[in-house]
Chain A
Amino acid sequence: KAGVTQTPRYLIKTRGQQVTLSCSPISGHRSVSWYQQTPGQGLQFLFEYFSETQRNKGNFPGRFSGRQFSNSRSEMNVSTLELGDSALYLCASSPGQGPGEQFFGPGTRLTVL
């Protein structure tokens, strides 16, 4: 069974631009969560989607948004990029409605110049 895939793996943007990251969960998984990892703050929760609905959101500004499609694939968007948005963005999938084991993708490394 294929694992969680994330595209692109690396991205370089400049301040003020926007970016879209994509995540394909493990086949059959319906829940997708996004996390931001930085050296200073560690791993922080962004949002979680289940059946195309956002059911949980972390403490990030409105510039960070996401969505989930009917095939469970998810995208997150960051608008008006800031230098501090440079981070590893990780996507995780889990099977169903309950808080089961989460499986992470390889991440997208975003660098904002």
Chain B
Amino acid sequence: KQEVTQIPAALSVPEGENLVLNCSFTDSAIYNLQWFRQDPGKGLTSLLLIQSSQREQTSGRLNASLDKSSGRSTLYIAASQPGDSATYLCAVRRGGGSQGNLIFGKGTKLSVKP
């Protein structure tokens, strides 16, 4: 059974710091991995999607990497800003053809202090 773990559960950093959020999964047979951001009481905003054949994806100050063999992904945020404060969720889509729901971690709650 696929399990997704995110460490740490919460993180507080001063503005301007570079930081890394971690995601691990138990079954390497994934189709893709997606990072999301969720603001309190809101829906999920997709940040980056990494296909299983890819090693990393970049969007602005965000860089996500994927190491399928070790079951790990990291989300790197450069030069953090107070507006980056949110919960970051990692989700994997299991393989096996066109079907396969997203399996989520519990998230990392990030607080960026001015």
Residues of A within 8 A of B (CB): 4, 6, 33, 35, 42-45, 48, 55-56, 58, 88, 90, 92, 97-107, 109
Cross-chain contact A99 with B36 (CB below 8 angstroms): no
User: What residues of chain B lie closer than 8 Å to A103, measured between beta carbons?
Assistant: 46
Chain B residue nearest in CB terms to A4: B43
User: What residues of chain B lie closer than 8 Å to A102, measured between beta carbons?
Assistant: 34, 46, 102
B interface residues, tally (CB under 8 Å): 24
Cross-chain contact B99 with A55 (CB below 8 angstroms): yes
Cross-chain contact B46 with A104 (CB below 8 angstroms): yes
Confirm or deny: B32 has a beta carbon within 8 angstroms of a beta carbon on chain A: yes
B98, B100, B106: most-surrounded residue (chain A CB, <10 A): B98
Give 27 CB contacts A-B under 8 Å.
Answer: A33-B101, A35-B102, A42-B104, A42-B105, A42-B106, A43-B102, A43-B104, A45-B102, A56-B100, A56-B101, A90-B43, A90-B44, A97-B98, A99-B31, A99-B32, A99-B93, A99-B98, A99-B99, A100-B49, A101-B34, A101-B49, A102-B46, A104-B36, A104-B44, A104-B45, A104-B46, A106-B43
User: What residues of chain B lie closer than 8 Å to A45, measured between beta carbons?
Assistant: 101-103
User: What residues of chain B lie closer than 8 Å to A106, measured between beta carbons?
Assistant: 42-43
**What is the minimal beta-carbon distance from B97 to any residue of chain A, in angstroms?**
9
Cross-chain contact A109 with B41 (CB below 8 angstroms): yes
User: What residues of chain A lie closer than 8 Å to B36, measured between beta carbons?
Assistant: 104
User: What residues of chain A lie closer than 8 Å to B34, measured between beta carbons?
Assistant: 101-102
Confirm or deny: B64 has a beta carbon within 8 angstroms of a beta carbon on chain A: no
